[in-house]
């Protein structure tokens, strides 16, 4: 428990940064694709999202290290302690997760944009930006909230590769070291923490969902 608690803050920082990046990228690309449904931009976004979903974590991590750390020297190769250290690991997680979010947002936005209240708002002369930002996007966020709840658990224990590549001192790296040394108590501890994070993440998502959509509040 002492070892896990010592590594937990680093993983939490990486988890929050990764989720923020993937949601920001996925929400933006998914909305753009939905608004241009069937067009060139839509196909391009879906192609990019497919590549992002399919790309192995270690490949993306090594490419980002080569370009932004080894070649451009914008960020450090590894380590922990400053904002510059967290950018590349979080970007790796964000790029990979953004593909899923983009696809989910596109599907939800297309469904919302076909609703009667959206057509009514447009018929009343509401501007396109207001229709999208004030009416469509908030009603398309429920699947995103559910995915964030799942990602909380996955990031807590499933970022072993990313933490190993970047030398990030989180519980993912601790789990990898424990596996190499066959340290069963550490492996069990990390697994339990990850399972607990999944439960808490889904609980938080269920509690937040009624705040976004009052229609699903308990009566």
What mean pLDDT comes out for the span 71-98?
85
Query: How many domains, in total, are found in the chain?
Result: 1
Residue 6, pLDDT > 80, answer yes
pLDDT confidence band for 132 (50 / 70 / 90): confident
Query: What backbone torsions phi and psi does residue 178 show, to the nearest 5 degrees?
Result: -65, -40
Structure tokens at 55: 């790309």
Residues 6+ apart with CB under 8 A from 80: 10, 86, 167, 168, 169
Residues 6+ apart with CB under 8 A from 93: 14, 17, 18, 21, 22, 57, 155, 159, 162
Q: What's residue 213's pLDDT?
A: 67
pLDDT confidence band for 190 (50 / 70 / 90): confident
Q: What's residue 179's pLDDT?
A: 85
pLDDT confidence band for 200 (50 / 70 / 90): confident
What mean pLDDT comes out for the span 107-111?
84
Give 129-140 as a DSSP string: HHIIIIIIHHHT
Q: What is the extent of the structural domain holding 16?
A: 2-216
Element (H, E) at 54: helix 40-54
Average pLDDT, the chain: 82
3-state secondary structure of 124: coil
Assign residue 175 the CATH number of its domain.
1.10.3720.10
What mean pLDDT comes out for the span 149-175?
78
Residues 6+ apart with CB under 8 A from 84: 75, 76
What mean pLDDT comes out for the span 162-180?
83
Q: What's residue 218's pLDDT?
A: 55
Interval 37-58: pLDDT, tens:
878 888 888 888 888 778 888 8
Q: What's residue 201's pLDDT?
A: 81
Q: What's residue 85's pLDDT?
A: 87
Task: Please state, in angstroms and as integers, the Cα–Cα distance from residue 19 to each residue in 2, 90, 96, following that order.
Answer: 26, 8, 11
Q: What's residue 214's pLDDT?
A: 66
What is the total residue count of the chain?
219
């Amino acid at each position: 428990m002492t070892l896990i608690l010592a590594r937990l803050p680093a993983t939490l920082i990486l988890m929050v940064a990764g989720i923020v990046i993937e949601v920001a990228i996925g929400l933006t690309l998914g909305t753009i694709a939905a608004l241009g449904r069937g067009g060139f931009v839509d196909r391009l976004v879906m192609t990019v999202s497919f590549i992002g979903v399919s790309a192995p974590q270690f490949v993306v991590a090594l490419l980002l290290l080569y370009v932004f750390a080894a070649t451009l020297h914008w960020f450090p190769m590894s380590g922990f302690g400053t904002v510059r250290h967290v950018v590349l690991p979080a970007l790796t997680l964000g790029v990979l997760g953004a593909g899923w979010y983009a696809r989910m947002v596109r599907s939800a936005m297309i469904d919302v944009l076909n609703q009667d209240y959206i057509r009514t708002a447009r018929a009343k002369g509401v501007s396109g930006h207001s229709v999208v930002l004030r009416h469509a996007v908030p009603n398309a966020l429920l699947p995103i909230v559910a995915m964030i709840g799942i990602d909380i658990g996955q990031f807590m224990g499933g970022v072993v590769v990313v933490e190993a590549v970047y030398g990030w001192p989180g519980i993912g790296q601790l789990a990898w070291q424990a596996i190499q040394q066959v340290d069963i108590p550490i492996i069990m501890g990390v697994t339990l923490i990850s399972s607990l994070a999944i439960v808490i993440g889904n609980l938080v998502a269920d509690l937040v969902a009624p705040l976004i959509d009052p229609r699903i509040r308990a009566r």
